Structure 1
């Protein structure tokens, strides 16, 4: 196991390890709840935001609900990237519309072993807004 993964697990303890091993749909639900509660989302940044690709080559903007989860993925192709937060308001009002305009999918909660969920922009905005209304 890499030093980053060991460090992140120490930071978050058993909860971090338990959440990372959830199936994609459960991580997506956790992301929605946590992002709405914290009012922020995390990405990886180094001279630009980290991007990934789907199996068919579509660009994906990966995002996480907390620093520790993003840091787990700051290795391999994202080695040298740092976790950076942005507000949920910025995500909904600026970033997601820009991603849609650029034909880039949102990538929710990647882990070192899983590509995460790639909802449509409309689905992600709707789910986040529904959760915000519940809070």
Structure 2
């Protein structure tokens, strides 16, 4: 990815970043998160539930490996595994999802909606 695209996408409003996320993960068939010696990075959702974070590219995830996540590294997750295992597992466990955090905000949607949007985008291929 070029630096300009990374900078521009990090500055988009959350809904536009989400749309970019869906297109990118389907196009490249992978999702990115951050992990460290303790496991995957998490935070607390506004309702107090555990929240996992996902990005469309390694470069975007790496830009968020700061502060409490500074010792974290980007890790790739195969899209098929993400859709078939991660999202259903998160839904069953009551874990929330943060899409494309930019060190300021992200978007959180129901997991079923994210699954629908991914399936809809997959139909374009």
TM interval, short-chain normalised: over 0.9
**Counterpart secondary structure, 1:118:** coil
Q: Structure 2: which 5+ runs fail to align?
A: none
User: How far 1:54 sits from its partner (Å)?
Assistant: 1.8
C-alpha RMSD of the superposition: 1.1
Using structure 1 for the length normalisation, give the TM-score: 0.88
- Taking a change above 3 Å as real, the CA distance of residues 76 and 38 of structure 1, as seen in their structure-2 partners, is same
**Counterpart secondary structure, 1:134:** coil
Structure 2 match to 1:21: 11
User: How far 1:59 sits from its partner (Å)?
Assistant: 1.4
Structure 1 runs of 4+ with >3 Å offset: none
Counterpart-to-counterpart distance in 1, 2:77 and 2:29: 9
- Residue number among 24, 36, 54 corresponding to 1:63 in the alignment: 54
CA offsets 1:47-99 (integer angstroms, 9 cap, x no match): 31111122232211100000000001101111100000010000000011111
Which structure shows the bigger proportion of residues in strand conformation?
2
Q: Structure 1: which 5+ runs fail to align?
A: 1-10
Q: Does 1:113 align with 2:122?
A: no
Using structure 2 for the length normalisation, give the TM-score: 0.95
